[in-house]
Amino acid sequence: MVPSVASVYTYQGFTVSGVVSGSAITPTGTVYVNEVEYNSPKVAINADGSYSITVPANTLPVGNNTINVFYSGDTTYAGALGYAQIVIVQGAPLTPTVTVSPASTTVDSAASLTVTGTVVGSAATPTGSVTLSTGNYNSTTTALTGGNYSITIPANSLTVGTEKLTVTYSGDSNYATAAGSASVTVIQSAFSVAASAPASVSPGASTTSTITVSSTTGYDGAVTLGCTLTTSPTGATDVPTCSAGTGAINLTSAAPSGTATVTVSTTASTTSMVSPNLPGTGRGLAGAAGGALLALLVFFGVPARRRSWRSMLSMLALLAILGGVAACGGGGSGGGGGGTTIPGTTAGTYTFTVTATGVPAQATANTTTFTVTVN
């Protein structure tokens, strides 16, 4: 048996080949390398008795090594042992190449980005791990699989503008650390907002507008609405109010649009009524009533035989005088008034502005307007 080379670096593998022969028929069975540091899988002997066993890199110690190959034996031949010498040399770490894909691309800030690549070298397939970093983002450590990697950058992790993606390889027993890079242009992910035209309304009634928020750039976040009156007829009174509620519209790549309702309320024209004031202060009537009562008591207190027609005339005269006093007493106070009038919302056209605010925020505010006609 002989190794494929007389000496190899630690980061290189090699093969051991040979032939198992005998005095009778060609031997069958298996062979394998058996060392303290390494035991190979068993390999079947070829029909002509030949074999070839691969010894991976970094399996034998630096220096002179004896390679022992054991033959398992078969029904004709007993087991046997062969050996050969090989020198393992400590090599300087190799420099691998780290590739990053996509090498250049454009992405919305609210979209995720998957970065893939390989770590390749001149010897064995690199092992170990990689990490990805940008100005504001650092990935978790990702193990290589057959020299390949895949890392996904979550949405809203990159800064708007040009970002440099750097993938750093950890190195292993054969390879030194290395890095590769790529660039990505990050554009602000955005959403748009639109309002439906509400129906006209009479003072005292309300009307609504449907607000639609949508994104074509994969915006992922919560959008809240605010509504304000921005223009109204000159001299308008009791102007309408607008309410957008407090809920948020949640947008995702799977649900890129949503709606909400804003309500516009107006004021009706009303007049409040008050009780009329009677003439006088009220004291004259009270006095008259009291006087009349007193006169009746006096009248009926007089014995019946004395109630002459003169007495009755006196009684009537007294009542007349008291009534006059009551009427005169009323002159000290003015008459009552009407009520308070609320004119209500002035007829005309009113303009409302709806402002949509997202978290995460857009670069600029997003607004839309609608008009309401009050009849």
For residue 201, give the nearest of 238, 240, 237, 230 by alpha carbon.
240
For residue range 109-119, list pLDDT tens digits in order: 878 899 999 99
Which pLDDT does position 338 carry in this prediction? 56
Q: Are 110 and 169 part of one and the same domain?
A: yes
Cα–Cα distance list, 36 to 14, 40, 66, 74, 371 (Å): 17, 11, 11, 25, 87
- Beta carbons of 350 and 239 less than 8 angstroms apart: yes
Residue 52 domain-assigned? yes
Whether pTM > 0.85 for this model: the answer is no
Residue 17 domain-assigned? yes
Q: Are 175 and 102 part of one and the same domain?
A: yes
Higher pLDDT among residues 120 and 13, named by residue = 120
CB burial string 344-355: b at 16+ within 10 A, e below = bbbebebebbbe
Residue with tokens 């250049």: 104
Mean pLDDT calculated for residue range 219-230: 93
Mean pLDDT calculated for residue range 134-146: 95
Binned at pLDDT 50, 70 and 90, residue 236 comes out as very high
- Beta carbons of 358 and 221 less than 8 angstroms apart: yes
Which pLDDT does position 189 carry in this prediction? 86
For residue range 246-277, list pLDDT tens digits in order: 889 999 888 999 999 999 999 999 987 655 55
Higher pLDDT among residues 320 and 16, named by residue = 16
Mean pLDDT calculated for residue range 196-208: 97
CATH code, 239: 2.60.40.10
Q: Tell me the HSE value of 245 on the side-chain side, using a 13 A CA sphere.
A: 14
Mean pLDDT calculated for residue range 207-218: 92
Q: Are 355 and 215 part of one and the same domain?
A: yes
Q: Which of 145, 168, 187 is the last residue of a domain?
A: 187
Strand pairing of 80-89 and 249-251?
unpaired
Which pLDDT does position 5 carry in this prediction? 82
Instruction: Count other Cβ atoms within 10 Å, centred on residue 95.
Output: 12
Which pLDDT does position 330 carry in this prediction? 45
Residue 78: is its pLDDT beyond 90? yes
For residue 156, give the nearest of 114, 201, 186, 119 by alpha carbon.
186
Which pLDDT does position 256 carry in this prediction? 92
HEC string for 92-157: CCECCEECCECCEEEEECCCCEEEEEEEECCCCCCCCEEEEECCCCECCCEECECCEEEEEECCCC
Tokens standing for residue 247: 């809920």
Higher pLDDT among residues 305 and 373, named by residue = 373
* Whole-angstrom distance, CA of residue 258 vs CA of residue 214: 6
Q: Are 351 and 265 part of one and the same domain?
A: yes
State the total domains in the chain.
3
Higher pLDDT among residues 219 and 30, named by residue = 30
Q: Are 232 and 359 part of one and the same domain?
A: yes
Higher pLDDT among residues 76 and 316, named by residue = 76
Residue 352: is its pLDDT beyond 90? yes
Radius of gyration of the chain measured on its C-alpha atoms: 52
Percentage of the chain surpassing pLDDT 70?
A: 82
Which pLDDT does position 372 carry in this prediction? 98
Mean pLDDT calculated for residue range 161-190: 94
Residue 331 domain-assigned? no
Residue 122: is its pLDDT beyond 60? yes
Q: Are 250 and 196 part of one and the same domain?
A: yes
Strand stretches in 176-220, DSSP E: 178-187, 192-195, 206-214
Residue 339 domain-assigned? no
Residue 286 domain-assigned? no
Instruction: Please provide the average confidence, as pLDDT, over all residues in the chain.
Output: 85
Q: Are 115 and 222 part of one and the same domain?
A: no
Which pLDDT does position 211 carry in this prediction? 96
Residue 49: is its pLDDT beyond 90? yes
* Whole-angstrom distance, CA of residue 20 vs CA of residue 50: 6
DSSP string computed for 300-346: HHS-GGG--HHHHHHHHHHHHHHHHHHHHHGGGSPPP---EEE--SP
Residue 70 domain-assigned? yes
Residue 71: is its pLDDT beyond 50? yes
- Beta carbons of 138 and 114 less than 8 angstroms apart: no
Mean pLDDT calculated for residue range 336-353: 86
Q: Are 127 and 164 part of one and the same domain?
A: yes
Q: Which residues contact 297 (CB under 8 A, 6 or more apart)?
A: none
Range of the domain at 145: 97-187
Q: Are 159 and 208 part of one and the same domain?
A: no
- Beta carbons of 189 and 169 less than 8 angstroms apart: no
Residue 322 domain-assigned? no
Q: Which of 161, 187, 213 is the last residue of a domain?
A: 187
Residue 136: is its pLDDT beyond 70? yes
Q: Are 223 and 356 part of one and the same domain?
A: yes
Q: Which of 63, 89, 115 is the last residue of a domain?
A: 89
For residue 96, give the nearest of 131, 141, 160, 147 by alpha carbon.
147
Which pLDDT does position 287 carry in this prediction? 46
Q: Are 235 and 369 part of one and the same domain?
A: yes
DSSP string computed for 246-311: S--EEE-SSS-EEEEEEEEE----EEE--PPPPSS-SHHHHHHHHHHHHHHHHHHHS-GGG--HHH
Torsion on CA atoms 185, 188, 191, 193, rounded to nearest 10: -130
Which pLDDT does position 297 carry in this prediction? 45
Q: Are 178 and 111 part of one and the same domain?
A: yes
Q: Which H/E stretch holds residue 367?
A: strand 366-374
Least confident of 81-85, 171-175, 360-364: 360-364
Higher pLDDT among residues 177 and 217, named by residue = 177
Residue 198 domain-assigned? yes
The alpha carbon of residue 116 and the mean position of all alpha carbons in its chain are separated, in whole angstroms, by: 26
For residue range 276-315, list pLDDT tens digits in order: 555 544 444 444 444 444 444 444 554 544 445 455 555 5
- Beta carbons of 84 and 166 less than 8 angstroms apart: no
